[in-house]
Amino acid sequence: MKTRKLANLEVSAIGLGCMSMTSAYGPPGEKGAMIKLIRDAYERGVTMFDTAEAYGPFANESLLGEALQPIRDKVVIATKFGFDINMETGARTGGTNSRPGHIKAVAEAALRRLRTDRIDLFYQHRVDPAVPIEDVAGAVKDLMAQGKVKHWGMSEAAVATIRRAHAAQPLAAVQSEYSLFWRGLEEELLPALEELGIGFVPFSPLGAGFLTGKIDETTKFDATDFRNLVPRFTPEARKANMALVEVVKSVATQLGATPAQVALAWLLRQKPWIVPIPGTTKLHRLEENLGGAEIELSAANVMEIEKGLENFKVSGERLPAAVLKMTGL
């Protein structure tokens, strides 16, 4: 596996998003199988693993901590703070909480669950409008001074807030949704990150599975799958959005690759400091995704994708309205 840098943090070119192992995409995976999958990812070259206190809550960090304990010093663990989650019960208010004292308490709890003495990359999961970002940066700076956090980042934040945060304490990475299925940050966010020297970690790099070509308007999701609530995943929207998948499939066929691999290769080609984190609970999908790092898209391939999509507009918002309100994008 090739490597890339998020600022000065070196990681595998493709990381592993672990959220789906315990939440959001249907029932949790079987614990033993998920631990094995995480270790299989490492054996195949993955060194960056993404989790958060909110995934569960808490269950995902505990799973990752157990899985990575034998190889802790060989991997990069990214986790997140910023939601208002009861530290004892895991109950959520639905709001944000980035008060400095809470950030530090979340860090301590994460360290215990992750079975480690430091967090390699600590993201603010969502910006808290009630707490100045300089205060957030100050709390993380304190944790860095204690050696408990090595690098910090932000998720789904507006450019103006990122600039303020970076001025207070340099950011290693920003994480937001980005794929051929949603490109709304290309005009403002990516140029700002390049200017500031901040790495970018796209989540949902396969459009929450849509770019794999395995989902159409007839697909039925589990009752606990968040995609049931997403406007662009209604049957009508999926039917309209298949035009995007057909363009990706065409290029994939030419290259002897899969649509997922082309979608990931397209992301990797955008900038050398982009590190996507596709998630999965299946070994064959993991291997397929990692194969995207080996696909070299030519200028003609990229032009074919762009030309095929020049009159295409994604049907449906990328997130429910209440969730979109919490983002800065």
Using alpha carbons only, what angle is made at residue 233 by residues 232 and 238, rounded to the nearest 5 degrees?
85
pLDDT on residue 142: 98
Q: Mean pLDDT of all residues in the chain?
A: 98
Give the confidence band of 143 by pLDDT, cuts at 50, 70, 90.
very high
Report all structural domains of the chain as residue ranges with CATH numbers, in order of start: 3-206+271-294 (3.20.20.100)
Q: Compute the average pLDDT of residues 127-132.
A: 98
Catalytic positions: 55
Q: Compute the average pLDDT of residues 114-126.
A: 98
**What's the rounded Cα separation, in Å, for the pair 260 and 205?**
9
Q: Phi-psi region for residue 56, left (φ > 0), alpha (ψ -120 to 50) or beta? A: left
Q: Compute the average pLDDT of residues 214-234.
A: 97
Q: Compute the average pLDDT of residues 81-102.
A: 96
pLDDT on residue 114: 98
Burial class (CB in 10 A: 0-12, 13-18, 19+), 300: exposed
pTM here is 0.98
Give the confidence band of 215 by pLDDT, cuts at 50, 70, 90.
very high
In order, the DSSP letters of 242-300 are HHHHHHHHHHHHHHT--HHHHHHHHHHHH-TTB----B-S-HHHHHHHHGGGG----HH
pLDDT on residue 137: 98
pLDDT on residue 31: 98
**What's the rounded Cα separation, in Å, for the pair 93 and 240?**
35
pLDDT on residue 323: 93
CA count, 13 A, side-chain hemisphere, 58: 15
pLDDT on residue 81: 98
Structure confidence by residue, pLDDT tens digits, 6-65:
999 999 999 999 999 999 999 999 999 999 999 999 999 999 999 999 999 999 999 999
**What's the rounded Cα separation, in Å, for the pair 293 and 280?**
16
Residues in contact with 223: Cβ distance below 8 Å, sequence separation at least 6, in sequence order: none
Q: For 182, list phi and psi in degrees, rounded to 5.
A: -155, 115
